[in-house]
Chains A and B, each alone.
Chain A
Amino acid sequence: MIITKTAVAGKKTKGDIEITIRPFEERTISLTSSIDKLYGTKIKAEIEAELDRLGVMNASVVAVDDGALDYVISARVEAAVIAASDDPAPFKAAKEDNAIEIDRLRRSRLYIPGNNPNLFVNAPVFGADMILLDLEDSVPPSEKHATRYLVRNLLLTGRLGASEAAVRINQLSGPFGLDDIEIIAPAGPSIIALPKAETAQDVRDLTAEIERIQQRAGTQHKIGIMPIIESALGVVNAPEIASADGVVVLAFGAEDFTKDIGAERTRDGKEQLFARQSVICAAKAFGRLASDTVFSDFGDTEGLIESTREGKALGFDGRGLIHPGQVAPVHEVYTPSPDELLFAVKVVAAAERAEAEGSGVVAIGSKMIDAPIVARAQRVIATAEKLAIPLPSIEEEK
């Protein structure tokens, strides 16, 4: 690639590297690093390798490093080169098949800003069911371009522990969304989250775009879609959005929704109740999971637990989180309690007994059990099994 102008990517903060690239008659690299003595040679080698891959011959590169890992270095170099050149960039190899596991727990979707590599370091140990790398609200417009490559490279390292990898792209109708998909889709996240989804067409557009890019890239892993309903129109159209092909989770975003309807967000959340129930109904009607909004005061654990319990009672399967400290309390709420589990086991046992006896009536003692209660009990047991929680024995009560 021919470098025609100056461009900068990355920052001088911990775990990051700032790459400034300029047109120059030969290829030169000047490096300043807080760990120069220990890793200077390796950092330069990584920069060289990325410039080689991109075919950059004539450029001066100034790098200021504070302990960036290799995938960060290459992402920053790539972003700077692409911004500084008018040539098309060579395609970066996609990840091996990484098909989405549809049937998994999604008690938590933890947002991590996509533009700060230092926040990625501990991502594998946060224990969230889903890590949602954000390209949207937490990334200022000036960093949108570089952030895509950083998040894409992180996805390629696979270093998110047992968490499901998800990416929130920008809205497709805006200036960044299409480019986001272009870079992110080939790296095979499990889920792409679509903010401000308002119609089924929004989802279809996204799916079509993903397919087009995957075809070009020669990849075909399935990517699940998580539309985020955060406007009045989105709520009204929730059923058709939920019904669209590829949707796995329907998420609710309270902040934008309350703004959109001209209400104030209150602690007890009456203004959101209809919307949340609409999202739940739509999701459940089409066999999708429903995920509640974020709880934004990460210092208020009691409030978080209360609000999560309320969401669970409404029918949500999980919620959004903005801080790793919220993972444990939220998981606790969404993990079946011993009482819940015992009841579920009893219900399922009664149902099995009824079926074996050819009876249509399921009962525990003299209490009749309806079919939906049996279904819920089965879900509770499935959740416990996914979490490897031993099922209580009810032998002695027989």
Chain B
Amino acid sequence: MEFVKNAIGREVPTEADGRVLTPFQGAFADPLREGKRATPSRPHSHPEHKGGERKLLANIKEAIAKTGLRDGMTISFHHHLRNGDYVVNMVLEACAEMGIKDLTIAPSALFPVHSPVIDHIKNGVVRNIQGSMNGPVGAFVSKGGLPTTAILRSHGGRVRAIEDGDLHIDVAFCAAPCADDFGNANGLHGTSACGPLGYMQIDSQYADKFVVITDNLVSFPCIPIDIPSTHVDYVVEVDKIGDPSQIVSGTTRITNSPGRLYIAKLAAEFIRKSPYYRDGWGFQTGAGGISLAVTKFLGDFMREDGINAEYINGGITKFAVDLLHEGITKKLLDGQVFDTAAIASLRDDPMHQQINLGMYANMHSKGCMVNVQDVGFLGATEVDVDFHVNVNTHSDGMLLHGIGGHSDVSAGAKLSMMIIPAYRKRIPVIRESVTTVTTPGETVDVIVCDLGIAINPLREDLIEHFKGSKLPIRDIRDIKREVDEITGGEPEQPKLADRVIALIEYRDGTIIDKVMQVKR
């Protein structure tokens, strides 16, 4: 492997598994902007009585055989069923039984429930992973388990890779909580209801073959139509596509840790005093404990100040739904939901709009939602004094988390905030240099932690705006010094082997960092 230093000084490979790579050149340089979109192969269909085939097949194996899936191809999945998903494991199990080898899997995310992927890597069914991974699969890959180099992409970056032709999907397998035998599908109804199927809409447009797998076959036509039959080759009915208790939670709970609540309150107060907090603003929220608390505090402030948001974008929970019902926000934009209240709202509330992930965050589009939102608040495993953020690896080098929408939101929002504890146990979250760069510092505006708030020196306007503020605004290095004093200083460097096991692709398709194998 040859390496080159990218714009933030990280050594990244110039080539991996035969693909030529472009080093990161700055968050908004976009060196790969020229070119044509990918085009999937041309489909054709006839009415059944004129020789068209029935889409409904007996089982997954029959579907795999009909799609022509063979060794070395790429298959994709969505993660709307999260840790309750059965479909990834069922499809890989079928591939293994059918003797198919060397697949690339391109899931929008993997969860602990997908740990059987490890066995399929060992037995040769899976050769590469592109997209996201976390937990046990990430740990296995970190230790050198994957024969190739994995590629991690953000939500927007995954869509970009598909549309730009970097990631060609041969067959997409779509878990569908509700579908008809002609392939129309949605995620709103049935015992496995998961909300929108926004992660899969791009796959349905660009994959050569698209298979809907459902445990809730309804009479034609399935309405509402989220995935249209025009994109669907085959439909398979199975007993269960997932474990409902692990798909969405019945109740989303806010953190009850006084320390975390303090940080959330501090972040909400900063937002309240920022120039973006005004009638008609829009912000992004997630389902993490701190993020939920920030949303709740913002709701309280807006109620008190008589301010309304125009929209809330993102992972939608009961907290956002309650604000919609109360009129504190007028609209919800929904890429994925996290609880049953959000699914009900998506079904019933006309101002609760689902969006696909390209619309959410693909920068190679004519305008994605993250690019217009005012405020986005995010978490991190590490941040550093250059404001670079790591959400992928732990300080010991283990690759344990996907990117999610992190680098997308951070680049798009007018005010992007990292909301973190200053240290966890005694491990500092604020570092001299992050273990892995997921999101470049130039797109990160503010870091909020229990020891204070640091504004990126690049944001002179914000620094000026907050001059004289009573909020504990401090220099990032000053905060870091205090963290070091408490924790006893920087931890030991991880012991790494001389092999790149994964690449962190920035949302524009360039390589922002690499992940090395961790020595056992």
Contact check: which of A14, A38, A69, A122 meets B262 at CB < 8 Å? A122
* B487 close to A (CB within 8 Å): yes
Which partner residue on chain B sits nearest A69 by CB separation?
B426
Contact check: which of B257, B262, B425, B491 meets A66 at CB < 8 Å? B425
B396–A126 CB distance below 8 A: no
CB distance from B304 to the nearest CB of A (A): 14
Chain A residues near B505 (CB-CB < 8 A): none
- Cα-based distance from A200 to B28 in the complex (angstroms): 73
Which partner residue on chain B sits nearest A41 by CB separation?
B492
A38–B486 CB distance below 8 A: no
CB interface residues, A 36-72, toward B, < 8 Å: 37-42, 46, 66-70
CB distance from A384 to the nearest CB of B (A): 16
CB distance from B285 to the nearest CB of A (A): 23
CB distance from B297 to the nearest CB of A (A): 12
CB interface residues, B 381-399, toward A, < 8 Å: 395-396
Which partner residue on chain A sits nearest B482 by CB separation?
A159
- Cα-based distance from A324 to B427 in the complex (angstroms): 24
- Cα-based distance from A46 to B491 in the complex (angstroms): 14
B426–A35 CB distance below 8 A: yes
Chain B residues near A325 (CB-CB < 8 A): 258, 261
- Cα-based distance from A125 to B259 in the complex (angstroms): 7
B259–A37 CB distance below 8 A: no
A324–B258 CB distance below 8 A: yes
* B275 close to A (CB within 8 Å): no
CB distance from B505 to the nearest CB of A (A): 27
* A121 close to B (CB within 8 Å): yes
B495–A37 CB distance below 8 A: yes
CB distance from A121 to the nearest CB of B (A): 6
* A296 close to B (CB within 8 Å): no
CB distance from B447 to the nearest CB of A (A): 16
Please judge, given known A-B contacts A37-B494, A38-B491, whether A125 and B426 are in contact too, CB under 8 Å: no
B491–A39 CB distance below 8 A: yes
B486–A159 CB distance below 8 A: yes
A40–B486 CB distance below 8 A: no
Which partner residue on chain B sits nearest A68 by CB separation?
B426
* B450 close to A (CB within 8 Å): yes
Task: Give per-residue flags for B247-265: 1 if the beta carbon is below 8 A from chain A beta carbons, else 0.
Answer: 0000000000111011000
Task: Give per-residue flags for A341-356: 1 if the beta carbon is below 8 A from chain B beta carbons, else 0.
Answer: 0000000000000000
* B488 close to A (CB within 8 Å): yes
CB distance from A42 to the nearest CB of B (A): 5
CB distance from B419 to the nearest CB of A (A): 14
Which partner residue on chain A sits nearest B493 by CB separation?
A38
Which partner residue on chain A sits nearest B259 by CB separation?
A122
B492–A38 CB distance below 8 A: yes
CB interface residues, A 279-318, toward B, < 8 Å: none
CB interface residues, A 1-51, toward B, < 8 Å: 14-15, 34-35, 37-42, 46
A38–B488 CB distance below 8 A: no
Which partner residue on chain B sits nearest A159 by CB separation?
B486
- Cα-based distance from A121 to B423 in the complex (angstroms): 10
Which partner residue on chain A sits nearest B263 by CB separation?
A125
- Cα-based distance from A92 to B262 in the complex (angstroms): 34
Which partner residue on chain B sits nearest A34 by CB separation?
B425
Contact check: which of B258, B488, B491 meets A70 at CB < 8 Å? B488
A126–B258 CB distance below 8 A: yes
Contact check: which of A15, A41, A122, A323 meets B425 at CB < 8 Å? A15
Task: Give per-residue flags for A112-129: 1 if the beta carbon is below 8 A from chain B beta carbons, else 0.
Answer: 000000000110111000
- Cα-based distance from A366 to B94 in the complex (angstroms): 93
A42–B262 CB distance below 8 A: no
Contact check: which of A37, A69, A124 meets B396 at CB < 8 Å? A37
- Cα-based distance from A39 to B423 in the complex (angstroms): 13
B425–A37 CB distance below 8 A: no
Which partner residue on chain A sits nearest B495 by CB separation?
A37
A40–B492 CB distance below 8 A: yes
B425–A35 CB distance below 8 A: yes
Please judge, given known A-B contacts A67-B427, A69-B426, A159-B486, whether A122 and B491 are in contact too, CB under 8 Å: no
B258–A69 CB distance below 8 A: no
Which partner residue on chain A sits nearest B262 by CB separation?
A125
CB distance from B520 to the nearest CB of A (A): 11
Chain B residues near A69 (CB-CB < 8 A): 426, 486-488
- Cα-based distance from A70 to B425 in the complex (angstroms): 12
Please judge, given known A-B contacts A38-B491, A69-B487, whether A122 and B258 are in contact too, CB under 8 Å: yes
Which partner residue on chain B sits nearest A124 by CB separation?
B450
CB distance from B253 to the nearest CB of A (A): 15
B258–A67 CB distance below 8 A: no
- Cα-based distance from A41 to B490 in the complex (angstroms): 12
CB distance from A161 to the nearest CB of B (A): 10
CB interface residues, B 457-514, toward A, < 8 Å: 486-489, 491-492, 494-495
Chain A residues near B424 (CB-CB < 8 A): 67
Which partner residue on chain B sits nearest A327 by CB separation?
B258
Chain A residues near B258 (CB-CB < 8 A): 122, 125-126, 323-325
Chain A residues near B495 (CB-CB < 8 A): 37
CB distance from A188 to the nearest CB of B (A): 20
Q: Which of B258, B426, B450 has the most CB of A within 10 A?
A: B426
CB distance from A119 to the nearest CB of B (A): 9
- Cα-based distance from A15 to B257 in the complex (angstroms): 15
B396–A125 CB distance below 8 A: no
Chain A residues near B494 (CB-CB < 8 A): 37
Which partner residue on chain A sits nearest B424 by CB separation?
A67
Which partner residue on chain A sits nearest B472 by CB separation?
A125
Q: Which 3 A-B pairs have the closest CB atoms?
A: A67-B425, A122-B259, A38-B491
Show the binding face of A for B, using Cβ within 8 Å: 14-15, 34-35, 37-42, 46, 66-70, 121-122, 124-126, 159, 323-325
Show the binding face of B for A, using Cβ within 8 Å: 257-259, 261-262, 395-396, 424-427, 450, 486-489, 491-492, 494-495
User: 23 A–B contact pairs at CB < 8 A?
Assistant: A14-B425, A35-B425, A35-B427, A35-B491, A37-B494, A38-B396, A39-B426, A39-B491, A41-B492, A46-B488, A66-B425, A67-B424, A67-B425, A68-B426, A69-B486, A70-B488, A122-B262, A122-B450, A124-B450, A125-B262, A126-B262, A159-B486, A324-B258
Q: Contacts A38-B491, A68-B426, A126-B262 given; 19 further ones with Cβ under 8 A?
A: A34-B425, A37-B396, A37-B494, A38-B395, A38-B396, A38-B427, A39-B426, A39-B427, A66-B425, A67-B425, A69-B486, A69-B488, A122-B450, A124-B450, A125-B259, A125-B450, A159-B486, A325-B258, A325-B261
